[in-house]
Chain A
Amino acid sequence: MTDAPEPDERAERAFRDALTSRAETFEPAPLETPEARSRRRWLPALVAAAVLALVGGTAVVAGVLHDDGNGGTHLAGKDDLAVGTLPAADAGWRWVSWRNVAVQVPEDWALGFEPGADWCADNGGDPSLPPDPYVAVNGAGMAHLDILCNHEPFGWPAAFGEAPEDYWAPHVTFAASGSPEARPVGHESYDGWESEVTELGDGVQLRVLGREGAPETQRILDSARTYETDQNGCDTTSPVQAVEFQRPEPPFDVEQVGSVDSVSVCMYSRATGQSTALIGSRLLTGDDAAALLHGIQEAPVGGGPDNPSHCLPDDYGDSAIALHLRSNDTTWTMYVYYASCFGSGFDDGTNRRDLTRGSCPLLWGDTVRLLYGDSAVFSRCVTQ
């Protein structure tokens, strides 16, 4: 007698049978290798030739934007380019960056979140309008309501997103190429607005939305460049971006640090699978830097808060922070974990310390945002 298959086994087999039999009905078509097309479409005049800038005596090549064979542009020859620290921004402008791509935006552009597919969610009667204009904080991994706001195919190009025109404002967005947040590459116009979506650096998609003919749009695009260290002293890569927990090297004891001039707060994605993972940064100086150091030193040794039963054993969290404490010529590096339900805390390589209300809230600001995590972490890290 043969036992009936278990329900999971039956469902799994059904999927396998269905997919295999459907795949067998499909006849692949001949593909064109795009090399010829791409070579033909190089647009040397698209953007000026490689921009050479001398920064601290180091030659910095911002790169050449090329047609990518798909209507868009990308920084070509990245692997051959020297890149370094971002130079000072133009007067009245500031750098915003993500992963290894930076652009300058007008200084008064606020930070905000781009309305997503859940743009129509009830927010106490008021629509969740972004600032006008703004720099969009990348919200990948952030909770979204699973609701369908667009009941019909929307009439505007996909590059403009799902939210309707009332929600549009001039802004800059970064996203990972090929990610759910990515949009079709190219230039689109719609009802007095224009959108430019291009790909640069290490798989970074840069999107600029502006009112048609606005001079800022082209100036922002022209300022695009790659870099290795951003304006806040954060490198584009860090050991802390590994999926599993890491400990900083070399170890030190934060309690022995007398004072600091500044602290670079560098947030890294641990879910991108890309080499550059810097997704947020800020620089604390003066009293703010001193307060953070003091808060960490006051935090109990041990680490936490943790609620291991709240998540799966291999859910280490999607982001982490590297803190660079600087005093004169000395730099100490700590790691901060907060995005899972275990392993939370400050780590100087010698001790792990708790995230406390006297330390953790000082981490967040600018593009360093606490977007998801365990409730125990939120209760200590978010002041309200």
Chain B
Amino acid sequence: MSGGAEPAAPDGVDDFGAWVAARGGALQRFAFLVTGSANDAPDLVQEALSRAYPRWAALSRSDTAEAYVRRSIVNASISGWRKTRRLVAVGDPAPLVDATGHHHDTATGVTDADEAWRLCEQLPPRQRAAVVLRFYEDLSYAQIALVLDCTEPTARSYVHRALAALRTRLAEENAHD
């Protein structure tokens, strides 16, 4: 965007288009990390943008557009998760193994990051979103609370519980090595 003195279009339409151009990629990555689906991510963002557009003037003025769109994405991912949470993707045996209470395949090459991603895939959407916002987007707990429409202690609790769960898994991995 140039910093020239071009007047803004009515309704902030130009602003909205520029904002989408600037933030669309990052929002899709966020949606991808929250859902794990490269197919669903663009649709979720598109849907969230459709909801944001009618209230763009207010969102832009209050500087809450990003939080609003992210919240819409998380909310939509919850709806999807409710419908499909009992479905286990073929080719991803980890959830099945977890459901039995047994340890993961101890094949070599499983890194901490692999373990972390497996855990992410099994977290409920709001907790998973909190983890993504904290460790990928580097947001503060106050900012996470704003996106998730919860209190700051709740946001902190989501992240700390996820860390505790991963810590336990990594310790178990070590014990089996």
Q: Which residues of A contact B146 (CB under 8 A)?
A: 273
- Whether a CB of chain B sits under 8 angstroms from the CB of A37 is yes
Interface string of B12-50 (1 = CB under 8 A from A): 010011001000110011001100001001100111011
Q: Which residues of B contact A177 (CB under 8 A)?
A: 51, 72
Q: Please determine whether B170 and A14 come into contact, CB atoms closer than 8 angstroms.
A: yes
Interface residues in A153-199 by Cβ distance below 8 A to B read 153-154, 158, 162, 176-180, 182-185, 199
Q: Which residues of B contact A147 (CB under 8 A)?
A: none
Interface size on A, residues (CB 8 A): 63
Q: Which residues of A contact B72 (CB under 8 A)?
A: 177-178
Q: Please determine whether A33 and B38 come into contact, CB atoms closer than 8 angstroms.
A: no
Q: Please determine whether A182 and B135 come into contact, CB atoms closer than 8 angstroms.
A: no
Q: Which residues of B contact A152 (CB under 8 A)?
A: 86
Alpha-carbon gap, A35 to B150, bound state (A) = 30
- Whether a CB of chain B sits under 8 angstroms from the CB of A38 is yes
Q: Which residues of B contact A68 (CB under 8 A)?
A: 50-51, 54
Q: Please determine whether B17 and A35 come into contact, CB atoms closer than 8 angstroms.
A: yes
A-B pairs with beta carbons under 8 A, tally: 173
Alpha-carbon gap, A367 to B53, bound state (A) = 32
Instruction: Determine the residue in chain B with the shortest Cβ distance to A184.
Output: B79
Alpha-carbon gap, A8 to B112, bound state (A) = 12
Interface string of B107-140 (1 = CB under 8 A from A): 0000111111100100000100001101110000
> Given that A153-B83, A178-B72 are contacting pairs, would A26 and B28 also be in contact in the complex, using a CB cutoff of 8 Å?
yes
Q: Please determine whether B49 and A31 come into contact, CB atoms closer than 8 angstroms.
A: yes
Q: Please determine whether B149 and A178 come into contact, CB atoms closer than 8 angstroms.
A: yes
- Whether a CB of chain B sits under 8 angstroms from the CB of A20 is yes
> Given that A28-B29, A314-B153 are contacting pairs, would A20 and B136 also be in contact in the complex, using a CB cutoff of 8 Å?
yes
Interface residues in A290-344 by Cβ distance below 8 A to B read 311-312, 314-315, 318
Q: Which residues of B contact A271 (CB under 8 A)?
A: 145, 149-151
Alpha-carbon gap, A15 to B55, bound state (A) = 34
- Whether a CB of chain B sits under 8 angstroms from the CB of A142 is no
Instruction: Determine the residue in chain B with the shortest Cβ distance to A146.
Output: B124
Please report B residues at the A interface, Cβ cutoff 8 Å: 13, 16-17, 20, 24-25, 28-29, 32-33, 38, 41-42, 45-47, 49-51, 53-55, 57-58, 62, 64, 67-68, 71-72, 74-75, 78-79, 82-87, 111-117, 120, 126, 131-132, 134-136, 145-146, 149-153, 162-163, 166-167, 170-171
Please report A residues at the B interface, Cβ cutoff 8 Å: 7-8, 10-23, 26-29, 31-35, 37-38, 66, 68-70, 74, 76, 78-79, 150-154, 158, 162, 176-180, 182-185, 199, 202-203, 271-273, 275, 311-312, 314-315, 318
Q: Could you list some 24 contacts between A and B, CB below 8 A?
A: A7-B171, A11-B112, A14-B111, A17-B116, A19-B116, A19-B120, A19-B136, A23-B136, A28-B28, A31-B46, A33-B49, A34-B50, A38-B54, A68-B51, A69-B50, A70-B47, A70-B50, A79-B58, A153-B83, A153-B84, A154-B83, A158-B82, A162-B82, A177-B72
10 closest Cβ contacts across the A-B interface?
A14-B112, A18-B116, A17-B113, A14-B116, A29-B42, A19-B136, A178-B71, A28-B25, A18-B113, A18-B117
